[in-house]
């Protein structure tokens, strides 16, 4: 029934029927009427299409195309999900790398602070050693100067004593002093 109503609906919707004044008159169905021939050719064309199952072929092609599009969409969704998981993975890795870099920077700062503190301590020790060396040199120089002053004072005192003794010394006293010095030396040597 469905197949029979379709051709009648198509005939009713043809341009020939729409253009004719009265499609139900007897003159409309004559072979000399071009509107009738066009309507008949159209119905025959539609019948040939149905006979060769063109609508089901077209439907099958459209279904196949819809299935292809559906599979492409599913593949695109899968690719999108994979891309999102890769993006999330890369974002996690980027965050890990950033945290690692921050730890490296913090460790480098800490090492630099420790190195600066150690350098400061080493510098203080070096300065302390140099100050001690300078103090030792000053002490040595003082002792050397004191010794030189004592030696010079002793030399001057001996020279002054020699002058005083030579001025006050007589020949007899000088002989007695020499004899006494000889005895002292002999006593100490023996």
Output the DSSP codes for 15-56. HHHHHSS-TTSGGGGSTT-HHHHHHHHHHHHHHHHHHTTHHH
Mean per-residue pLDDT, 148-168: 77
Question: If you ran DSSP here, which 8-state letter would residue 7 be given?
Answer: H
46 Cβ contact partners less than 8 Å away, ≥ 6 residues apart? 6, 7, 10
Tokens of 155: 């030399």
Q: What's the CA gap between 149 and 155, in Å, rounded?
A: 10
Q: What's the CA gap between 159 and 176, in Å, rounded?
A: 21
Q: Say if residues 43 and 11 touch (Cβ distance below 8 Å).
A: yes
Mean per-residue pLDDT, 124-147: 90
* All structural domains of the chain with their residue ranges: 2-89
Tens digits of residue pLDDT in 29-83? 777 888 888 989 999 999 999 999 888 989 999 999 999 999 999 999 999 999 9
pTM reported for the whole predicted model: 0.39
Confidence of residue 8 (pLDDT cuts 50, 70, 90): low
C-beta neighbour count of 39 within 10 angstroms? 22
The reported pLDDT for the residue numbered 163 is 75
Confidence of residue 91 (pLDDT cuts 50, 70, 90): very high
């Amino acid at each position: 029934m469905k197949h029979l109503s379709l051709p009648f609906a198509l005939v009713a919707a043809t341009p020939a029927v729409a253009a004719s004044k009265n499609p139900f008159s007897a003159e409309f169905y004559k072979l000399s009427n071009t509107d009738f021939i066009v309507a008949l050719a159209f119905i025959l064309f539609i019948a040939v299409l149905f006979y060769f199952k063109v609508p089901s072929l077209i439907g099958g092609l459209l279904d196949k195309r819809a299935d292809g599009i559906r599979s492409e969409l599913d593949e695109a969704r899968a690719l999108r999900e994979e891309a999102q998981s890769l993006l999330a993975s890369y974002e996690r890795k980027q965050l890990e790398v950033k945290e690692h870099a921050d730890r490296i920077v913090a460790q480098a700062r800490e090492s630099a602070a420790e190195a600066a503190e150690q350098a400061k301590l080493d510098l203080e020790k070096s300065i302390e050693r140099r100050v001690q060396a300078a103090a030792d040199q000053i002490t040595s120089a003082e002792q050397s100067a004191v010794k030189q002053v004592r030696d010079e004072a002793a030399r001057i005192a001996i020279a002054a004593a020699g002058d005083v003794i030579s001025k006050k010394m007589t020949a007899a006293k000088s002989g007695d002093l020499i004899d006494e010095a000889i005895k002292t030396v002999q006593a100490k040597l023996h």
